[in-house]
A = this chain, B = another copy of it.
């Protein structure tokens, strides 16, 4: 059985585990104030070209999202997101639990356009009863999105411009940032992400770490007292060095980018295999998630040997499914799958 179910079925890249073992009996300060966290922060700041950025390590993605959003918004403000945004559908109302509405905009591919966001904001302010409505206070995007799609540099610049004009921070959920940046279809560097957002995070959980996300705050107005918020939401790891060690390792010798590229490469081979076979792709993804539309009979057939996720019923006899590769996916698994796709 080969797993393409999701990008977090294995543990961590072996280099991370090795480092944990090597440092296990060192005695360090707690709560992220150790030398490993500091070293990782420094590497991230350098790669981001953002020497003044604040970098915080949190345990997971939902926690990163809810902590960032609730730290930034005032109580009457909401966060604009695509309908399919992780915060809107798959976090059990974590944002609402901190008191804020997700202002969901429709989206075919998981992306928001600058025009949509601008419209949502101006609609608010043009309404004479705007005090009766939730005020847009932040824009949330993910990159790559939940559908594997990517923002181009131009699209991101346009979003940033709209946000700046409105005085609203732009927050990028980078749970799969590695897979986004490493894609052959991407024209964005990590430093672009840092420059074109106010706060974002670099996903570890889905990209080689045991767990953990690195929140990077570049907008000075959003930095104040952030550590209080981490603690309040239960996200301040006592043995914070565990996160420092992981990110320090990931950002040594470009490991983060290398393993992301590996996953994307395999995913694009799957993409090609599906396309050559004549299958439609439900989303046009050039990253580690691929969403072919398959006849239900073929889905049943593939399930005999492969794990993958059901996505959406398309018609009476077809469904979209999701195949994920990751840093841990073996070439062997991908090749077996490609062969079997060919045989369908």
Interface residues of A (CB under 8 A from B): 3, 6, 8-12, 14, 17, 20-21, 23-31, 59-67, 70-71, 74-76, 78, 89-94, 96-102, 129, 131-135, 205-206, 210-211, 225, 227-229, 231-239, 241-242, 307, 328
Contacts and interface: CB of A to CB of B under 8 A. Distances in A.
Question: Which 9 A-B pairs rank lowest in CB-CB distance, beginning with the nearest?
Answer: A63-B234, A76-B228, A11-B24, A92-B232, A9-B27, A93-B134, A62-B234, A93-B101, A96-B101
A75 B131 CA distance: 21
A62 to B, nearest CB: 4
B133 A92 contact: yes
A232 B75 contact: yes
Contacts of A28: 9
Given A21-B21, A26-B10, A234-B60, A93 B78 contact: yes
17 contacts: A6-B30, A8-B239, A9-B30, A10-B27, A11-B241, A27-B307, A59-B59, A62-B236, A64-B234, A71-B74, A74-B225, A75-B97, A91-B234, A92-B229, A93-B100, A93-B134, A132-B231
Contact of A96 (B23, B99, B205): B99
Nearest to A60: B234
A236 B92 CA distance: 11
A78 B99 CA distance: 13
Given A94-B232, A94-B234, A238-B205, A225 B11 contact: no
Contacts of A67: 234
A20 B20 CA distance: 11
Contacts of A97: 75, 98-99, 232-233
A104 B224 CA distance: 25
A164 B185 CA distance: 51
A92 B11 contact: no
A242 B14 contact: no
A43 B34 CA distance: 34
Interface centre among A74, A96, A135, A231 (most CB of B within 10 A): A96
Given A10-B27, A25-B328, 10 more contacts: A10-B24, A17-B20, A17-B21, A66-B234, A67-B234, A75-B97, A76-B225, A92-B133, A92-B134, A131-B236
Contact of A228 (B66, B92, B235, B237): B92
A40 to B, nearest CB: 16
A303 B211 CA distance: 35
Nearest to A11: B24
B233 A94 contact: yes
B92 A96 contact: no
Given A21-B21, A75-B98, A238-B205, A92 B131 contact: yes
